[in-house]
Structure 1
Amino acid sequence: MRSLVIKCTAGGDDPERCNQAFSVAAAAVAAGADVSLWLTGEAAWFGMPGRAEEFVLPLAGSLAESRDLVLEHGRLTVCSQCAARRGITEADLVEGARVAGAASFAEEILADGVQALVY
């Protein structure tokens, strides 16, 4: 099975697109894929404790549960530039999440057997 790297570029500003990224990441983890979820733009806030828990979208699953599933079985990364613009540091993130930049993202998506999706 290929590895999957998902970049979520939307947060509360576009809740359906944001939820889709988290849902696909959780579904891929459940299917046994190696999943890396990147949070960029307004999605960066969901790397912080309590933020995903506040997310509400009718008929959608829990963003926090999807995030936690990815943290347990994959990787959760917050974009370094996006974090810096919002005053978010690695110490502010949920346990297991990290801050990394474009070079790390490029390295992940250019590896053999990787599928990248952007929401």
Structure 2
Amino acid sequence: MESEPSLVFVVTHGREDAERATLPFVLGNGCLAMDVKPVFILQSEAVRLATKGYADSIQAHGLDPLKKLLDNVLQAGCPMLVCSPCAKERGITEADLLPGAFIAGAAKVIDLLLDAKNCLTY
């Protein structure tokens, strides 16, 4: 994989919209199959996707289970940034996160977006 992210996914939905929460990770798994490095930035309700157990029961119609897709990208070492103010507002700490996900502030997010070739927002 390349050292800089080729594709950044900004994810803003959680359980309230299973399809929008899942689609970025469907594409992220597609990136892995094509040796493209995806990066995930979780904001708003999507920060809950990075917490242990939250995605276990999310299944959008016609798509793979979100837990499976999340596990694949995290096991592949894809960065998953969790919006710091969004996490704080929801009482989420680093201890609550899945292995590989981390809380990041605006500067880190902006750096990634500036280096990325493309960005998709869900």
Identity of aligned residues (%): 35
CA distance, structure 2, for counterparts of residue 55 and residue 8 of structure 1: 15
Q: CA RMSD in A?
A: 1.5
Of the three residues 2, 6, 12, the one matched with 1:3 is 6
CA distance, structure 1, for counterparts of residue 19 and residue 45 of structure 2: 13
Identify the residue that residue 49 of structure 2 maps to in structure 1: 46
What letter is aligned with 1:62?
A: P
Map of 1:98-113 to 2, 5 A cutoff? 98-111=102-115
2:19·2:61 contact (CA, 8 Å) conserved in 1? Answer: no
Q: Is 1:27 aligned to residue 4 of structure 2?
A: no
Post-superposition offset of 1:71: 1.0
1:36·1:70 contact (CA, 8 Å) conserved in 2? Answer: no
Identify the residue that residue 95 of structure 2 maps to in structure 1: 91
In structure 2, stretches of 5+ residues that fail to align are none
TM (norm. structure 2) is: 0.88
TM (norm. structure 1) is: 0.90
Post-superposition offset of 1:78: 1.0
Post-superposition offset of 1:52: 1.1
In structure 1, stretches of 5+ residues that fail to align are none
4+ runs deviating over 3 angstroms: none
CA distance, structure 1, for counterparts of residue 83 and residue 33 of structure 2: 24
Post-superposition offset of 1:12: 1.5
**Which secondary structure state, in structure 2, belongs to the residue aligned with residue 99 of structure 1?**
strand
Identify the residue that residue 67 of structure 1 maps to in structure 2: 70
Identify the residue that residue 80 of structure 1 maps to in structure 2: 84
